[in-house]
C-alpha cells in the first residue's frame, strides 16, 4: 500500500524508458505532478478507510489454512498411491502441491475474499473420480470444512468450500509425471505435455497470474490501481465473470495494459487513464499484454483469422500465458453495453476529480440498478435446505448468462438484458431461497414498427430445460421466473426497505424523443378486441368504483336522509356485483399459487412477484390464452394486481406502470404464447358500449344517474 514502489519507479526513469512493456510503445512516459501524488495519497487513504486491506491476523490465518490444505492433498495422493498397488517407495515419494492464483496471488485480495487454489497431482490421480469423489468425501468429513460445493461441469471444474472460515476455490490438474516435485516451475511450458483441455485451463490460472506480474512496469502501482478498480466494478455492478461481465483476471489484464501504456504513472493517474483508454477502445479489438505465441504442443489459441467462433467475441481480453485464450468470452452485447456506460461514468467522475470538482468517494457511489429500468425479470431459486440451495444457486447463476445470450439471439438484439450480479434473500421467508434480477429494455434508437412482437416463450423454455439438466439435482430444487415492474420490486432488495426513491430528472440535453411502448394483451382469436375491452373494464372496476363511491357519498351528504338511503342501497347492490367477480379472480389466483408450490409467505407477496403459472388465472380458459408483446403509442391501463401485462417502455425516466410478460419454468405446460398486439386506435369503448356488454362500472354510472333523478323527485 505504501508509495515505496512508486518512488523507486520514479527514481529510475531511464531504465523504464529502455524497456518496452506490451505489444506497442507507451502512450506517455510522463511522471506524476505534485497534484497527482496528492491525489494518489487521497486515493490510498480512501481505500484503507473502505476496508479493502486485511489485518495481519487474517493474513496469518490464510497462510495457516494453505499449509493445512497442502498437507491434506499430500495425504490424499499417498492414500490413492497405496490403493493403486504402487510400491512402498512410491507411496513415500507420492506428492501433490498447492499453488495460488487470482487476487491472492496478485496481492489484491481483501478481508473475507476467497483464495483461488490449484492442486497439482501425479498422472494416475484423476479429476473425475479421485478429486470430485474421494477428496470430496475426505473434506466432507472434516470439522473445519463447511459449505462444500463441487462444480465438476464448469468451464474450469472447481470445488468450493470454507476451511476454518476461509473461502477456498480448489482446482485440480493432473500432470504427466509419476512424482510431482515440490519445487515445480508452473510457468514452464513442459507442465502442459500430455494433458487435456480442462487441465490446461486449470493450470493457466496460475501461469497467467505469474505472467501478469512480470509484464507490468511497477507491481505496487499495478496492485493499488487494480484494488481500486475492482472495488469500483463491484460498486457499479459490473464485477462478475459468471453473469457476463468481467472477473478478477479480466480486470487485472485491463489494468496491466494501462500500466504498460503509462509506465511512469502513479495510481491516481492510472485510474484516470484507465477510463480514458477504455471509453475510446474500439471493441472487438483485443487487449493483449504480449504477442500471442504458437507452440509445438498444438493447443488452440485465440485467433479470429482462423477460428470463426473467435470472431463472435464482443470484448476480447487475451491471457498472456500459452495457450493464449480470450478470458472474457462470457461478455455479451448487452453486458458490454452496460460496461461501456459505466466506463463513461467513471471517466466523467475522474475528469471532475482532476479539476478538484469531486472527491474519490463520488466515483464509488453504488449503481442504482432498481431505478434504472421499468421492467425486470425476477429469478427465484428454491431448495429444500440451505446446503441444497448453495449448490442449486451456483448452478442457476452459471446459466443466467445463457438466458441473456438466448434473448439476444431470439430478438435479434432488440431486447436488451442487464443481469445484476447480486443475489437477494428475503429474511422473512421460511424456505431456503434467493433471487436474481435482470433489467429489460428495448434497444435504444431502434425503430419500432406497428405490431412488432418479442416472443420469448421458446427462449425461456430452452433456458428452463438447460437448468433442469443439473446432474446433482435433488427434490425441492425449483426455479421460478417472474416479471416485476419497477414499482413492484420487493422491498427486501432495497436499502431500508424503500421500494422507491426520488429519481433525478434528466438534463434537457439528455431528453430523448418519446419512444413507442411494448404492449401485451390477451388474444382470443376473433374475440381479440372484445376480450381486451372486457379485461380492461374488469381491471379498472375497483379504481372507478372508489371514485364513483366518493361522488355518491359527497352528493348524499348534501341531501336529506331519504336520498342518502337510496344511494346507499344502489351502491351496496353494485358493490356486490363488482366485487364478487374480482374476488373470484383473486381466490383462483391464490389457488394456483398454492398448487405450484408457493408457501403462504410467497402468496402474501403475490401482488409483487407473479410467477408465470399465475397466467392461468385469466378470465377465460388456459388453453385459449395467448399473450403478446407489441409496439404501440398508446399504453393500455391495467390494475396493478392483474397477471395481464401492461406496457414496457425502454426509457427509465418515469415510474408509470410498465411490464413485459412473465416468463418462467412451468412443470406441466409449455410457455404461454406471446402473440397479441395492441394496435394504434384500439381503445376501450364508451361507457355506454361497456354497459351493453354488462360492465358493472357502467351499470354503477347508470344507477347514479337514476338515483339523482329519484332524489329530485323526492325533494319536489
What is the distance between the alpha carbons of residues 275 and 272, in angstroms, rounded to a whole number? 6
Instruction: Please list the helix, strand and coil fractions of the chain in percent, rounded to the nearest 5, in that order.
Output: 45, 15, 40
| Bridge partners for 523 per DSSP | none
Instruction: Select from 102, 419, 421 the least CA-distant residue to 248.
Output: 102
**Distances in Å between the alpha carbon of 29 and those of 17, 25, 261?**
8, 10, 8
Write the Ramachandran bin of 85: left for phi over 0, alpha for psi from -120 to 50, otherwise beta: left
Task: State in Å, rounded, how far the first CA of the chain is from the last one.
Answer: 92
What is the distance between the alpha carbons of residues 41 and 379, in angstroms, rounded to a whole number? 43
In 3-state terms, what secondary structure has residue 194?
A: coil
421: phi then psi, degrees, rounded to nearest 5? -85, 45
What is the distance between the alpha carbons of residues 263 and 241, in angstroms, rounded to a whole number? 28
Q: 340-360: string of b/e by CB count within 10 Å (b at 16+)?
A: bbbbebbbebbeebeeeeeeb
| Bridge partners for 167 per DSSP | 162
What is the distance between the alpha carbons of residues 532 and 682, in angstroms, rounded to a whole number? 9
Write the Ramachandran bin of 120: left for phi over 0, alpha for psi from -120 to 50, otherwise beta: beta
Residues recognised as catalytic: 103, 114, 116, 169, 230, 239
What is the distance between the alpha carbons of residues 429 and 450, in angstroms, rounded to a whole number? 43
Instruction: Select from 440, 441, 438, 455 the least CA-distant residue to 397.
Output: 438
Alpha helices in 262-366 (DSSP H): 267-279, 333-354, 360-363
Q: 195-226: string of b/e by CB count within 10 Å (b at 16+)?
A: beebbbbbbbbbbbbbbbbebbbbbbbbbbbb
Beta carbons within 8 Å of 21's beta carbon, 6+ residues apart? 215, 216, 217, 259, 260, 263
Q: How far out from the chain centre does Cα 340 lie?
A: 16
Cross-sheet strand order for the sheet of 630-632: 630-632, 517-519, 647-648
> Is 10 within 8 Å of 32 (Cβ atoms)?
yes
**Distances in Å between the alpha carbon of 35 and those of 28, 222, 228, 518?**
18, 19, 19, 51
In 3-state terms, what secondary structure has residue 536?
A: helix
| Exposure of 416 in the CB half-sphere (CA atoms within 13 A) | 19
Cβ neighbourhood burial of 280 (10 Å; 0-12, 13-18, 19+): exposed
> Is 180 within 8 Å of 121 (Cβ atoms)?
yes
Which grid coordinates are listed for 274? 484507465
Cross-sheet strand order for the sheet of 115-121: 97-101, 115-121, 166-174, 158-163, 145-151
Amino acid at each position: 500500500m505504501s508509495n515505496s514502489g512508486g518512488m523507486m519507479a520514479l527514481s529510475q526513469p531511464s531504465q523504464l524508458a529502455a524497456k518496452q512493456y506490451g505489444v506497442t510503445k507507451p502512450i506517455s512516459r510522463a511522471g506524476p505532478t505534485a497534484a497527482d501524488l496528492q491525489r494518489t495519497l487521497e486515493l490510498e487513504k480512501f481505500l484503507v478507510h473502505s476496508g479493502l486491506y486485511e489485518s495481519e491476523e487474517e493474513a496469518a490465518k490464510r497462510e495457516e489454512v494453505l499449509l493445512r490444505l497442502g498437507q491434506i492433498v499430500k495425504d490424499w495422493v499417498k492414500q490413492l498411491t497405496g490403493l493403486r498397488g504402487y510400491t512402498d517407495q512410491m507411496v513415500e515419494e507420492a506428492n501433490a502441491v498447492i499453488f495460488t492464483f487470482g487476487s491472492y496471488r496478485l496481492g489484491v485480495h481483501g478481508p473475507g475474499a476467497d483464495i483461488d487454489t490449484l492442486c497439482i497431482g501425479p498422472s494416475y490421480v484423476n479429476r473425475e473420480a479421485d478429486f470430485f469423489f474421494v477428496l470430496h468425501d475426505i473434506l466432507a468429513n472434516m470439522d473445519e470444512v463447511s459449505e462444500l460445493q463441487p462444480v465438476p461441469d464448469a468451464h474450469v471444474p472447481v470445488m468450493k468450500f470454507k476451511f476454518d472460515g476461509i473461502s477456498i476455490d480448489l482446482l485440480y490438474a493432473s500432470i504427466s509425471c509419476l512424482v510431482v516435485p515440490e519445487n515445480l516451475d508452473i510457468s514452464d511450458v513442459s507442465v502442459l505435455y500430455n494433458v487435456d483441455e480442462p487441465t490446461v485451463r486449470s493450470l493457466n490460472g496460475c501461469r497467467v497470474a505469474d505472467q501478469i506480474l512480470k509484464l507490468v512496469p511497477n507491481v505496487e502501482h499495478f496492485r493499488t490501481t487494480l484494488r481500486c478498480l475492482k472495488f469500483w466494478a463491484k460498486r457499479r455492478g459490473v464485477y462478475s465473470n459468471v453473469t457476463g461481465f468481467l472477473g478478477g483476471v479480466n480486470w487485472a489484464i485491463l489494468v496491466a495494459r494501462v500500466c504498460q501504456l503509462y509506465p511512469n504513472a502513479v495510481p491516481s493517474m492510472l485510474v484516470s487513464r484507465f477510463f480514458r483508454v477504455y471509453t475510446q477502445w474500439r471493441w472487438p479489438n483485443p487487449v493483449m499484454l504480449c504477442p500471442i505465441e504458437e507452440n509445438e504442443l498444438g493447443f488452440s489459441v485465440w485467433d479470429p483469422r482462423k477460428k470463426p467462433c473467435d470472431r463472435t467475441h464482443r470484448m476480447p481480453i487475451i491471457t498472456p500465458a500459452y495457450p493464449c485464450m480470450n478470458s472474457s468470452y462470457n461478455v455479451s452485447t448487452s453486458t458490454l453495453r452496460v460496461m461501456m456506460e459505466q466506463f463513461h461514468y467513471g471517466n466523467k467522475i475522474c475528469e471532475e476529480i482532476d479539476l478538484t470538482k469531486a472527491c474519490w468517494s463520488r466515483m464509488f457511489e453504488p449503481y442504482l440498478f432498481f431505478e434504472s429500468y421499468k421492467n425486470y425479470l425476477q429469478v427465484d431459486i428454491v431448495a429444500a435446505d440451505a446446503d441444497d440451495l448453495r449448490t442449486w444457486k451456483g448452478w442457476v447463476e452459471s446459466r443466467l448468462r445463457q438466458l441473456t445470450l438466448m434473448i439476444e439471439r431470439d430478438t435479434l438484439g432488440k431486447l436488451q438484458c442487464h443481469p445484476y450480479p447480486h443475489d437477494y434473500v428475503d429474511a422473512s421467508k421460511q424456505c431456503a431461497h434467493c433471487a436474481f434480477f435482470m433489467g429489460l429494455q428495448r434497444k435504444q434508437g431502434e425503430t419500432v414498427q406497428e405490431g412488432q412482437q418479442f416472443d420469448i416463450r421458446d427462449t425461456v423454455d430452452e433456458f428452463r430445460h438447460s437448468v433442469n439438466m443439473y446432474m446433482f439435482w435433488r427434490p425441492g430444487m425449483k426455479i421460478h421466473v417472474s416479471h416485476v415492474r419497477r414499482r413492484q420490486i420487493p422491498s427486501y432488495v432495497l436499502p431500508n426497505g424503500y421500494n422507491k426513491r426520488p429519481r433525478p430528472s434528466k438534463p434537457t440535453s439528455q431528453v430523448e424523443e418519446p419512444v413507442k411502448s411494448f404492449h401485451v394483451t390477451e388474444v382470443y382469436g376473433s374475440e381479440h378486441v372484445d376480450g381486451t375491452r372486457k379485461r380492461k373494464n374488469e381491471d379498472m372496476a375497483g379504481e372507478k368504483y372508489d371514485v364513483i363511491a366518493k361522488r355518491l357519498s359527497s352528493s348524499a351528504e348534501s341531501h336529506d336522509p331519504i336520498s342518502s338511503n337510496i344511494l346507499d342501497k344502489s351502491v351496496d347492490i353494485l358493490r356486490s356485483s363488482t366485487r364478487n367477480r374480482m374476488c373470484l379472480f383473486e381466490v383462483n389466483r391464490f389457488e394456483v399459487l398454492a398448487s405450484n408450490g408457493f408457501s403462504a409467505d410467497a402468496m402474501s407477496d403475490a401482488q409483487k412477484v407473479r410467477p408465470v403459472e399465475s397466467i392461468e388465472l385469466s378470465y377465460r380458459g388456459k388453453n385459449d390464452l395467448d399473450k403478446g408483446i407489441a409496439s404501440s403509442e398508446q399504453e393500455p391501463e391495467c390494475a396493478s394486481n392483474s397477471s395481464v401485462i401492461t406496457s414496457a417502455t425502454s426509457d427509465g425516466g418515469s415510474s408509470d406502470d410498465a411490464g413485459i410478460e412473465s416468463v418462467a419454468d412451468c412443470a406441466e405446460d409449455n410457455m404461454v404464447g406471446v402473440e397479441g398486439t395492441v394496435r394504434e386506435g384500439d381503445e376501450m369503448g364508451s361507457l355506454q358500449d361497456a354497459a351493453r356488454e354488462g360492465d358493472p362500472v357502467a351499470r354503477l354510472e347508470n344507477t347514479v344517474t337514476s338515483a339523482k333523478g329519484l332524489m329530485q323527485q323526492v325533494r319536489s
